[in-house]
Amino acid sequence: MDFELGEEHKMFQAMIRDFVVNEVEPCAAAWDETNEFPYDMVKKMAEVGLYSVGFPEQYGGTGDELTFILASEEISRGSGGLGISYIVTLGLAMYPITMHGNNEQKAKYITRVTNGATVAFALTEAMAGSDVANLDMRYQKDGDSFILNGNKIFITNGAEADFVTTFATRDKSLGYKGISAFIVERGTPGFSVGKVEHKMGIHPTSAAELVFDNCRIPAENLLGQEGQGFRIALEAIDASRVTIAAQAVGIAQAAYDAAVGYAKERKQFGVEIARHQGIQFMLADMAVELDAARLLTYRAGWLTQQQGKSPAKEAAMAKLYASEAAHRICHKAVQVFGGYGYTREFPVERYYRDQRITEIYEGTSEMQRWTIARQITGTR
């Protein structure tokens, strides 16, 4: 049993950590304050090869699942908002194409992402969140085209995406069997961005409403076969859970590092607060939870590589534990900073806000517990 990263992964981790420290961290607070999407940073990341991670080599990709997890963790450590944009673009939004696209679709769209395109995964609707099968957005076939009508909400990268993978039903009475998956390009007539949410955290990346009003797309933009959309969506979400766990680990690591550093410098009652047992116990708990979250996440990533698909139970365990552990770690980090932790002078309040969504998107903590329980008991 080996708990060490291989040399290639260690070299990649060191490279991206250096990139994040020098390029991402100095900008993160400003991105959070202005809500501006960091287009220039995406371009830099693409130039150094970070937007090629995890894709098949034949389409210009590099690395493997664990490489993608390491990248997701480190980028999120620098900026939770940039981290989720990266994770959704390379992972959640592109999994439907990499897993179910034809050769032409893969060649076209993977190449665009490796060059720095941003992508969105448009599934959630007002009445379809955890209940994926309850879509209201409709599609109909019209000659060599499909026409889409409906709205999506809370779509990460929605306002910035160069193209989106989205889902609609031919007939709601068919349930999950009526759902199909499509690729829609930005600028397509009838496709527009609606309300952009004012969020608690991950500010640089939008959560937007997407409006499809008689949006006509070519038939070649169908992903897989008609009626396969439900399975395509669930497979993408399952695969993405591990990278959300990695995002939570990255944010938690940033909060932990800040708390340790501050505890060594801040003095109360004549000594550094790191010498006070109350602070020491908090830091110890944070260290234990961080290690446990990272090990669960890396295990799920390793199993994904071995099996060729995301392991349902282990991925859910990683996502559940890492996101909730990050909550506790960020909470303690604010406590260590005291009143300063509640101000924007220090980054821990941003980490606290950015972390919270990891317990919600790509399946809430409650849905993860349900998944784990079904795997344990064999029930459905």
- Report the candidate in 217, 227, 222 with the shortest Cα–Cα distance to residue 149: 217
- Report the candidate in 141, 314, 130 with the shortest Cα–Cα distance to residue 225: 141
**Active-site residue flag, 25:** no
Q: 325 — phi, psi (to 5°)?
A: -65, -40
Helix then strand then coil, % of the chain, to nearest 5: 60, 15, 25
Give yes or no for a contact between 359 and 323, defined as CB atoms under 8 angstroms apart: yes
- DSSP H/E element including 216: strand 207-218
In Å, the largest CA–CA distance within the chain is 79
Amino acid identity for residue 123 in this structure: L
Spatial separation of the C-alpha atoms in residues 16 and 19, rounded to whole Å: 5
Instruction: Write down how long the chain is.
Output: 380
Contact partners, residue 344, CB within 8 Å, separation at least 6: 29, 33, 350
Tokens for 137?
């957005």
Active-site choice (73, 209, 289, 362)? 362
Known catalytic residues? 362
